[in-house]
Structure 1
Amino acid sequence: WTRPDMALYRFADAIVAGRPVDVFGQGRMQRDFTYVDDIVSGVIAALDRPAAPDPEWRAETPDPATSGVAPWRILNIGAGTRVELMTYIEVLAEAIGRPAKLNLLPLQPGDLVRTEADIADTTAALGYAPTTPVEVGVRRFADWYCEYHGVARD
């Protein structure tokens, strides 16, 4: 499952209904799409390897992601790879078995062209390694979506 206000769900709703998908940035934006199973594996890895105080931490040059006293640490959990938005939509449309009608729009003010999680610290600290490519994750979502909503595929 996913929240209905998230992009993947909204895109699927539009494709199934034959409505245009609003695509900002002409679809050239790149995002780090992460499959839920990979997020869960990162959370479980964090539970299995609690943080320890950082002996290198110094008040004169503090690292806000760690602590010299408290056992906590801030880590990114993501796929660590960028996927172009247009590719994401194409994979979804193919998985649903219907074409995506596109409403290509300019980049929204304040939006970033590229985002990607830096998971190097997470990999080092937790052994975290995402394993689900976007094509597989989107296909799994489409399978669930179509079954849940009774969508017949062509």
Structure 2
Amino acid sequence: MKKVLITGMAGFIGHHLAKLLVASGYEVVGLDSINDYYDVNLKLARLKDLGFNTSDIEYNKLLKVENNSFIKLDLTDLENIKQLFKEQQFNYVVNLAAQAGVRYSLENPQSYVDSNITGFLNILESCRAYPVEHLVFASSSSVYGLSEEIPFHEDNCTDHPLAMYAASKKANEMMAHSYANLYNIPCTGLRFFTVYGPWGRPDMALHIFTKAMVEDKEFEVFNNGDMSRDFTYVGDIVESVKRLLPLAPKENNPAFNPKKPTSSKSSKPYQLFNIGNNSPIALMDFIKAIEKALNKKGKIVFKPMQPGDVQSTYANVESLFKYINFKPETRLEDGVKAFVEKYLELNKGS
């Protein structure tokens, strides 16, 4: 039985990935600091859904439920992170833990350095000390920044990030490559494109819009609604990650040309993929899907574009489709309906 560490397991994607991997026969160890960037109760509810007694959670105490374990740890705590790697001897690591959110990075850039750069360095150092078969780490579509070369391809220029969040994710990609080069750690970076679905974060548009509609309140839509996103259902995302785990990159990739290098491939055991739906959806159509699921009209207040935001995201995901032999297949209406049903269940008492 292969053992996987999932950092950020109390988070949105981490929770779904843990459920899938345990059901698929993996042994899972989850790590999360359970910080208060958003409602801690939602993070605890996700852990309860995974079978953990959340009243037993203490810092650096490992809880175990069959083939699923959880430990509350901060990624900046290198000593205890390394000790966990030493004790558990992981086959695979999926690093999803990060300080999320583009707009919050305008208010608190230091938290992005702590979690996303220092924290990721500690994961790399731990993989160096206690080697793993494959490190998969979360990057972001936000690294494309000022690029208007649509759809975004992994080899597009990513030198113009619009906010500290994007800059920290770009840094992760370069840090991982340096460790693949120096210490032969097989690394795959995934540039996530607007993931949505049940148990989603309260700071994401789907949650914000749904909450406002349920409460019959106004909500803001930026750039006067003229935006689109490559919305990708969380179930398709975690299925992609599961398929990717045993497919670690190897050295001397024949597709890499050192005289014409590209960012997504390397002669070292390193690769980058976009992970998205390959089908951008207009924001107003997304809102209509929520209205349909709730059978209710939203009270929209149109606003100009926010600093750090981009008008559209659109992933070229051909290389990942070929690599793992899987394409996202969840329809927007079905994914939004699944979110709305879970939202109403989780908030029925409020």
The answer to whether TM tops 0.5 is yes
Structure 1: which 4+ aligned runs deviate by more than 3 Å? none
* Aligned counterparts of 1:111 and 1:48: Cα–Cα separation in 2: 35
* Aligned counterparts of 1:82 and 1:66: Cα–Cα separation in 2: 25
Partner of 1:28: 226
Q: Secondary structure at the match of 2:259?
A: coil
* Aligned counterparts of 2:240 and 2:232: Cα–Cα separation in 1: 11
Counterpart selection for 2:322 from 111, 119, 124: 124
| C-alpha displacement of 1:109 | 4.4
Counterpart selection for 1:141 from 323, 339, 346: 339
Partner of 1:63: 262
* Aligned counterparts of 1:48 and 1:131: Cα–Cα separation in 2: 22
Q: Which amino acid aligns with 1:102?
A: I
Can you list the C-alpha shifts for 1:84-111, whole angstroms capped at 9, x where unaligned? 1011111112212222000011233453
| C-alpha displacement of 1:142 | 0.5
Q: Which amino acid aligns with 1:37?
A: G
Q: 8 Å contact 1:22–1:105 — kept in the other structure?
A: yes
Q: Which amino acid aligns with 1:35?
A: Y
Q: Which amino acid aligns with 2:219?
A: V
The correspondence of residues 1-154 of structure 1 with structure 2, limited to 5 A, is 1-53=199-251, 54-70=253-269, 72-109=270-307, 111-150=309-348
Gaps of 5+ in 2: 1-198
* Aligned counterparts of 2:303 and 2:297: Cα–Cα separation in 1: 18
* Aligned counterparts of 1:139 and 1:61: Cα–Cα separation in 2: 46
Q: 8 Å contact 2:224–2:303 — kept in the other structure?
A: yes
| C-alpha displacement of 1:45 | 1.5
**CA RMSD, Structure 1 to Structure 2 (Å):** 1.6
Q: Secondary structure at the match of 1:48?
A: coil
- Between 103-112 and 78-87, report the one with greater CA deviation: 103-112
Higher strand share: 2
* Aligned counterparts of 1:145 and 1:65: Cα–Cα separation in 2: 37
* Aligned counterparts of 2:329 and 2:220: Cα–Cα separation in 1: 29
Gaps of 5+ in 1: none
Q: Secondary structure at the match of 2:301?
A: strand
Q: 8 Å contact 2:255–2:265 — kept in the other structure?
A: no
Q: 8 Å contact 1:96–1:146 — kept in the other structure?
A: no
